[in-house]
């Protein structure tokens, strides 16, 4: 499908992509670029990629698909390094979780003949680094493309096919809409998880062992989400700060209403809200977006 | 181990207990009492119990172990029905998630010769009703006993053995401490999950299908928790309202700090918090309180 694919950043997502590319035979050659030489040696030794180096420009050269799989805050620097040596007609994509800022930033800086088509595979685990990547990570998961003005139609089609070949379902969406929806489905839920775990840490000092021991009551499931990559999430919240901020405000308003209902022992109101939230789960299961159930506590 | 066990309320927890009692052969006879006749017929037909009726007093009579597995708000009514026909030396327990209020309520109303030993098995799923119960629900899960003043030592020992025989690990704790710890490990995390799902519902009207479609980014895992039994959770929050209220306040203070850090693009602060929360997960895994990992999104 491609002659040379370059993955910039071979972490959990990048290394999973490299593994999937190999498995489904989508490129003659796959290389990566990482800032750490230890990592570059590792991904070659593990045969995840054919070559890897800190020299991003050299790795990106002659590639017909370049995938940025590094933190959002590194995009500017990456583009600065590669922009002058991109092959005409190269498809440039990324895997970042926020789109609007990145799309504008890169659109301005790359030559006209490059097809810049941001991707967001909605997949991941709480682990970081190439050791935890696996080729099936994208299977049955959604991948959202938010093509820039510099995206050729035939390239959008090709990139869509690429994601489909590694098992994803693909949607095309406007970057602004993407960021708004992901604020609700992903970014704020993660922030809330970080906050509940952080709050429990600040309370727990004297009761630390007890809180860990009985964490299966619900907290445990939040600690999983709250152990995702800190750098990645730092960048997501900052790049999507307006949406995040507005949604947090709404969240706090609703939480205060719940608190008041509890204090007033307003059982009817609580029951009504808890019944409503139960319904949305049914819709999610119906949409095939559920996974096998963990056994959690009360 | 027992001659007759009576389970009052054969829902998810009650029916799982009945199944476990049968499997591990812990009673000559197991009966239940439910308010609905459809349910009473069902649990007998499914051979979950030997007999079941709306007549709680008749079912409880002659039992040497009575387990209340009904919503916390029904305890007063249940005790009123059974208190005058309890067999001398009966062990009375429950499976409720809040202890202090219930322990005092029942302690006052039952005769001296009854061993009242509240239990809290920290186990459950998001499903409700006897169809979803299973005998292994309590396996490797903690069960906390908070014995009342009316608990005989030998009976505490016996009840502890009962929970161990169905696979649980047992701890004994003061009711006040139990309620405080569970606020952090279970009650507030559940309230937060209800609130994030409720907030997303209020936002989603125009984008409903998109939000469901991309819920794997994090929201989905909250909808699982937020689809637990509404009646059960209504009662938990109301009975534990002081602890819940105080913890919500702390949660909001911390969330506002996070929001401010995002608005100020204070990457260092965010990274520090997100790294700290990552650590507690390691402790949980070390404590053997983790389950197989779901594949979630970003």
Tens digit of pLDDT per residue, chain A (298 long)?
999 999 999 999 999 999 999 999 999 999 999 999 999 999 999 999 999 999 999 999 999 999 999 999 999 999 999 999 899 999 999 999 999 999 999 999 999 999 999 999 999 888 889 999 999 999 999 999 999 998 999 999 999 999 999 999 999 999 999 999 999 999 999 999 999 999 988 876 667 778 888 887 888 888 888 888 899 999 999 999 999 999 999 999 999 999 999 999 999 999 999 998 888 888 887 777 665 444 444 5
Q: How confident is the model at residue B295 (pLDDT cuts 50, 70, 90)?
A: very low
**What's the average model confidence in pLDDT over B269-296?**
76
Closest chain A CA to residue B144:
A214
* B204-227 confidence digits (pLDDT tens): 666 777 888 888 778 888 888 888
Which of B274, B279, B285 to mutate: most A Cβ within 10 Å?
A: B274
| Total-model pTM | 0.89
Would you state the torsion angle of the CA atoms of residues B209, B210, B216, B217, taken in this order, to the nearest 10 degrees?
A: -150
B250: nearest CB among A199, A231, A282: A199
Which residues is B142 bridged to in the sheet?
A: B169
Residue-level pLDDT at A297: 47
**Closest among B50, B99, B52, B106 to B81, alpha carbons compared:** B106
d(CA A108, CA A62): 22
Average pLDDT in chain B: 92
Residue-level pLDDT at A223: 87
Residue-level pLDDT at B218: 83
Residue-level pLDDT at B89: 95
A255: nearest CB among B144, B195, B211: B195
B280: nearest CB among A201, A241, A271: A201
**Closest among B217, B142, B150 to A98, alpha carbons compared:** B217
* B162-200 confidence digits (pLDDT tens): 999 999 999 999 999 999 999 999 999 999 999 999 998
Residue contact A196–B189, C-beta within 8 A: yes
What are the tokens at A250? 């709404």
Question: Which residues on chain A are in Cβ contact (under 8 Å) with B297?
Answer: 122-124, 141, 186
A289: nearest CB among B193, B216, B235: B216
**What's the average model confidence in pLDDT over B29-34?**
98
d(CA A68, CA A92): 8
Closest chain A CA to residue B271:
A230
Q: How confident is the model at residue B281 (pLDDT cuts 50, 70, 90)?
A: confident
> What number of residues does chain A have?
298
* Nearest CA-CA distance, residue B73 and chain A, Å: 10
Q: Which domains does chain B have, with CATH numbers?
A: 2-172 (3.40.50.720), 177-286 (1.10.3660.10)
The lowest-confidence range among A220-234, A242-256, B109-123, B275-289 is B275-289
| HEC string for chain B | CEEEEEEECCCHHHHHHHHHHHHCCCEEEEEEECCCHHHHHHHHHCCCCCEEECCHHHHHCCCCEEEECCCHHHHHHHHHHHHHHCCCCCEEEECCCCCHHHHHHHHHHCCCCCEECCEEECCECCCCCHHHCCCCCCCCCEEEECCCCCCCHHHHHHHHHHHHHCCCEEEECCHHHHHHHHHHHHHHHHHHHHHHHHHHHHHHHHHHHHHHHCHHHCHHHHHHHCCCCHHHHHHHHHHCHHHHHHHHHHHHHHHHHHHHHHHCCCHHHHHHHHHHHHHHHHHHHHCCCCCCCCCECC
**What's the average model confidence in pLDDT over B58-65?**
97
A185: nearest CB among B186, B198, B219: B219
| HEC string for B57-123 | HHHHCCCCEEEECCCHHHHHHHHHHHHHHCCCCCEEEECCCCCHHHHHHHHHHCCCCCEECCEEECC
Q: Is the pLDDT of residue B150 over 60?
A: yes
Question: Which residues on chain A are in Cβ contact (under 8 Å) with B294?
Answer: 224, 291-292, 294
d(CA A244, CA A191): 9
Q: Is the pLDDT of residue B269 over 90?
A: yes
Residue contact A219–B189, C-beta within 8 A: yes
Residue-level pLDDT at B289: 66
Closest chain B CA to residue A95:
B298
* Nearest CA-CA distance, residue B88 and chain A, Å: 32
Residue-level pLDDT at A292: 47
**What's the average model confidence in pLDDT over B12-22?**
97
* Nearest CA-CA distance, residue B35 and chain A, Å: 19
Question: Which residues on chain B are in Cβ contact (under 8 Å) with A207?
Answer: 180-181, 184
**What's the average model confidence in pLDDT over B70-96?**
96
Question: Which residues on chain B are in Cβ contact (under 8 Å) with A168?
Answer: none
Residue-level pLDDT at B206: 65
In total, the C-beta contacts within 8 angstroms joining chain A to chain B are: 364
Residue-level pLDDT at A284: 80
């Amino acid at each position: 499908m491609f002659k040379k694919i370059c993955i910039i950043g071979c972490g959990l997502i990048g290394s999973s992509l490299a593994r999937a590319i190999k498995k489904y035979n989508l490129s003659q050659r796959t290389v990566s670029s990482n800032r750490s030489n230890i990592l570059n040696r590792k991904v070659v030794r593990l045969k995840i990629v054919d070559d890897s180096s800190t020299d991003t420009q050299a790795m990106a050269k002659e590639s017909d698909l370049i995938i940025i799989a590094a933190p959002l805050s590194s995009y500017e620097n990456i583009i600065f390094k590669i922009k002058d040596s991109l092959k005409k007609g190269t498809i440039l994509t990324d895997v970042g979780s926020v789109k609007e800022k990145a799309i504008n930033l890169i659109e301005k800086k790359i030559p006209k003949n490059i097809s810049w088509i941001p991707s967001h595979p909605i997949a991941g685990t709480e682990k970081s680094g190439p050791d935890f990547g696996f080729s099936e990570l994208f299977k049955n998961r959604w991948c959202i493309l938010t093509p820039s003005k510099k995206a050729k139609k035939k390239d959008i089609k090709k990139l869509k096919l690429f994601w489909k070949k590694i098992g994803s379902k693909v949607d095309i969406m406007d970057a602004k809409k993407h960021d708004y929806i992901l604020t609700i489905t992903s970014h704020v839920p993660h922030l809330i998880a970080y906050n509940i775990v952080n709050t429990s840490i600040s309370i727990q000092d004297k009761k630390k062992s007890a809180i860990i021991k009985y964490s299966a009551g619900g907290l445990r499931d939040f600690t999983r989400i709250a152990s995702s990559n800190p750098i990645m999430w730092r960048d997501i919240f900052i790049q999507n700060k307006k949406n995040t901020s507005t949604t947090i405000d709404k969240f706090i308003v609703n939480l205060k209403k719940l608190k008041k209902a509890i204090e007033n022992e307003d059982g009817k109101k609580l029951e009504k809200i808890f019944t409503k939230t139960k319904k949305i789960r049914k819709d999610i299961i119906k949409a095939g977006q559920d996974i096998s159930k963990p056994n959690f506590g009360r």
